[in-house]
Amino acid sequence: MITLYGIKNCDTVKKAIKWLEANDIAHQLYDFKTQPLTAELLTDFINQSDWSLLLNKRSTTFRNLPDEIKNNLTDEV
């Protein structure tokens, strides 16, 4: 079974779920709005990918962060 990580009202997540269902692929959604993102899970993500790819820099939340925070992000959990 595939675990899809995201937010259920995200358009990209909706498209992914629709595709998985259309192709009869078993899946479960790990919804960040209802399930906490643990330090262990975040560390696993960082170890498997470039940590900066995990950020949605186009999101309203990210864009509204102060520049001081945006400019000083690191892979430290």
pLDDT 10s digits, 19-69 = 999 999 999 999 999 998 899 998 898 899 888 888 888 888 888 999 999
54 part of the active site: no
The confidence band for 71, taking pLDDT boundaries of 50, 70 and 90, is: confident
pLDDT for residue 58:
85
CB neighbour list of residue 62: distance below 8 Å, 6 or more residues apart:
55, 56, 70
For the entire predicted model, the pTM comes to: 0.72
The catalytic residue among 4, 7, 10, 46 is 10
Whether 76 has a pLDDT exceeding 80, the answer reads: no
7 phi/psi in degrees, rounded to 5: -120, 125
In whole angstroms, what is the distance from residue 34 CA to residue 40 CA? 17
Q: What are the residue boundaries of the structural domains of the chain, listed by start?
A: 1-35, 36-77
